[in-house]
Amino acid sequence: MTTLQSLEIFYAQNGYEKDGGAESKWFEVKFPIFTLKLPNPEWRRKIIYLHDIHHVINGCDTSWKGEAFIAGWEVANGFGRHFPISLLITWTMGYSMFINPKDVVEGYKKGVRDKGVIALGMQKNDLLSMEFAELKNRVESPSDSGMGFSGWLTFILWLIISQIVLLGPFILALLIIL
C-alpha cells in the first residue's frame, strides 16, 4: 500500500475530504464546547499532508488525544522548527499539556528517537507514491532508549515555549486592558 493510499484511508476514517482539506479555504479546530473555523493559508495547505502522514505513521486519530501525541512528536523531531507551522504545533502542544499531558510526553519521547518525514527531503509525489511500510521504516527508530537528561531539559524548554505561544496573546490582551 502506498503512502497516498494510507492517507486516503486515514482521511476517510476521520471524516475528511480526499485531500484532507488541503484545498479548502477554511479548516476547523474542534474544542469540547465549540468549533473554531480558521482561514487555511497557503503555507498550511502546502504542508498539512506531512502532518497527516505523521498521524498515520504513529497510528493517531485527529482527536485531541491524537493531536497531543503528534504535537509532542513533531516538536521533538524538528517539524516544529519550520515557521509558520511551528506556531500551530507549539500552540497545540501548549493546549494539550492541559488536557492530555501524558500523550504530549509520550509523543515527544518517541519523536526524539524518530526522524520526521520533512527531514527525508523528498518531493511530495515521491513521498506519496512510496510504499507506506518503507516510509515507516525510514522514519521510526527501532531503539527504545530514554531521552536522557539533556532530552528532558529540551522538553522543558519546549514546554515553556508552548505555554508562551498558548497564553501569550491572552496575557498581552490583559496587560493592554489593565
Q: Tell me the per-residue pLDDT of 126-143, one tens digit each, with 9 for 90 and over.
A: 999 999 999 999 999 887
CA distance 49 to 71: 15
State which residues form the domain around 158: 3-177
Alpha-carbon separation of residue 159 from 57, 83, 95, 98, 163 (angstroms)? 24, 17, 10, 11, 6
**Over the chain, what is the mean pLDDT?**
92
Q: Tell me the per-residue pLDDT of 16-38, one tens digit each, with 9 for 90 and over.
A: 888 888 889 998 888 889 998 99
How many domains does the chain contain in total? 1
Q: Tell if the pTM clears 0.75, that is, is over it.
A: yes
